[in-house]
């Protein structure tokens, strides 16, 4: 996406509920409420907000980079061909969000809550921190986690068919029993067993 082809905007509201070919940069907001908006072919950089409430959004080909969205609440939306790079989303709440070809790269998602999040296309978490994050009843089929910090990351129910957890330390996971039909490397079995033993309060005599 070439910046020369994008129009600088000072709001993400758009006209008639749609914003296309845009660049939104460097905004510092106390609140960011958005509802019922379509964002298409755009770039959001350096956005800082203390509280973002995003509902019923449709995003296609949008890039977020260097944003601080800690306090984010994102609900009932669909994201297609969206990337988040070097973004901070501590304690973010994602609920009923559909992800289709979405990449999180070097993002801080500690303490985030993902509830009924559904992956219908390629989704990758690469070099992200997900410490104490929780996935509740998600569909993470075919999702890949690569070199992520998964310390005390919890999985509660859901579907994980072919979820690729290779390249991660699994010893600190919670909710291991939910992770059916995942993909791991053989050396990771020990870490997964350690996590299972902690979860089941197994002691060694």
Q: Quote the pLDDT of residue 2.
A: 62
| Mean pLDDT across 161-186 | 93
Q: Quote the pLDDT of residue 129.
A: 98
| pLDDT tens column, 33-73 | 999 999 999 999 999 999 999 999 999 999 999 999 988 99
| 80 close to 100: Cβ distance less than 8 angstroms | yes
Which comes out higher in pLDDT, residue 84 or 16? Answer: 84
Global pTM reads: 0.92
| pLDDT tens column, 104-155 | 999 999 999 999 999 999 999 999 999 999 999 999 999 999 999 999 999 9
Please give the mean pLDDT across all residues of the chain: 93
Q: Distance between CA 143 and CA 151 in Å, rounded?
A: 18
Beta strand residue intervals within 111-173, DSSP E: 113-115, 118-119, 123-126, 134-136, 144-146, 154-156
| 132 close to 153: Cβ distance less than 8 angstroms | yes
Q: Is the pLDDT of residue 1 over 70?
A: no
Please, is 74 exposed, middle or buried when counting C-beta atoms within 10 Å of its C-beta (0-12, 13-18, 19+)? buried
Sign of the C-alpha dihedral, residues 194, 196, 202, 205?
Answer: negative
% of the chain exceeding 90 in pLDDT:
83
């Amino acid at each position: 996406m070439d910046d020369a082809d994008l129009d600088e905007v000072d709001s993400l509201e758009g006209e008639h509920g749609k914003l296309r070919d845009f660049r939104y940069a460097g905004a510092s907001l106390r609140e960011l409420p958005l509802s019922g908006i379509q964002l298409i072919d755009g770039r959001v950089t350096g956005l800082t907000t203390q509280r973002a409430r995003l509902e019923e959004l449709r995003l296609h080909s949008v890039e977020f980079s260097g944003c601080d969205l800690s306090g984010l609440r994102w609900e009932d939306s669909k994201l297609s061909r969206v990337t988040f790079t070097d973004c901070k989303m501590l304690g973010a709440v994602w609920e009923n969000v559909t992800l289709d070809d979405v990449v999180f790269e070097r993002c801080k998602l500690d303490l985030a809550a993902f509830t009924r999040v559904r992956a219908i296309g390629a989704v990758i978490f690469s070099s992200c921190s997900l410490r104490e994050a929780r996935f509740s009843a998600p569909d993470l089929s075919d999702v890949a986690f690569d070199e992520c910090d998964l310390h005390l990351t919890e999985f509660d129910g859901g579907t994980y068919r072919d979820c690729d957890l290779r390249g991660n330390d699994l010893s600190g996971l919670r909710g291991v029993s939910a992770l059916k039909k995942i993909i791991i490397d053989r050396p990771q079995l020990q870490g997964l067993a350690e996590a299972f033993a902690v979860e089941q309060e197994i002691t060694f005599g």
